[in-house]
Chain A
């Protein structure tokens, strides 16, 4: 099983990289973009087959290391 973790700055925390990319897209005349957020994706290959257990484990990983919950939110997708 794989866990796909996406980490983004929380809503309300200024995302400078997102802003820079948005600005660059504007410069290229892609005018239909309302907002850009840049985050990171972390893909974990797990040897766990129980989905519930895997979700609990990865949540713990996010809380302890993969995200800094002072400034970041995370989502977990199991595939």
Chain B
């Protein structure tokens, strides 16, 4: 499996992401944002977390114009698997490859802590290794993680099974850290080959980090 990881000025999770996928046996490559193409044999394209362009204007707003983003859109249109983590999720919504938008956290604080998530739908290219209702412990670290979509959009997400993860407590009961609509932590596109989530599974790869629940999640991204 070959994983290509996008790097913008300000990206800071590319090496953690690379470490995580290497640990799972994947071949990885970091792709600089000025590249006009992505490696042709890419099985999974990851838009890594961080602060692309310093989050100037809005998170992800400037990154969407980087040369590589045209290649990302065309890769996604052809059915390629695209994963956006944290800032990567913000970039994918700004680029309209995913519905909705990420707003400032309701409490206005940057939140960095372990949080539980419930798997809402595993019928997609990403979460097949997990079961619906599974609760995983995956850290969050964001200032703009408050997912927003209007009512009509929300209905569509629900009808199409595009809501993949919700924030919960360890028992799987809804617990919303940032004001996100319906406590949504991750969504996919209608075609189910583009997935964005605010939490960082690549930071939950070993028990010494507080959780190894990222392993099953990332394995699912590779294998399904």
Contact = CB atoms under 8 A, between A and B. Distances in A.
Interface in B171-211: 179
Nearest to B153: A70
Interface stretch (A11-19, A26-34, A46-54): A11-19
Contact of B107 (A13, A16, A68, A71): A16
A20 to B, nearest CB: 6
Given A16-B108, A70-B148, A71-B148, A65 B57 contact: yes
A75 to B, nearest CB: 17
Contacts, number: 34
Interface residues of A, number: 11
Interface size class of B (residues with CB under 8 A): 10 to 19
| Residue in A20, A65, A70 with the greatest tally of chain B CB atoms within 10 Å | A70
Contacts of B100: 70
B contacts with A: majority SS? loop
A68 B104 contact: no
A66 B57 contact: yes
A9 B179 CA distance: 15
23 contacts: A9-B103, A13-B103, A13-B148, A14-B103, A14-B179, A16-B105, A16-B106, A16-B146, A16-B179, A17-B104, A65-B57, A65-B61, A65-B62, A65-B65, A66-B57, A68-B94, A70-B93, A70-B100, A70-B101, A70-B148, A70-B149, A71-B103, A71-B148
Interface of B: 57-58, 61-62, 65, 93-94, 100-101, 103-108, 146, 148-149, 179
Interface of A: 9, 13-14, 16-17, 20, 65-66, 68, 70-71
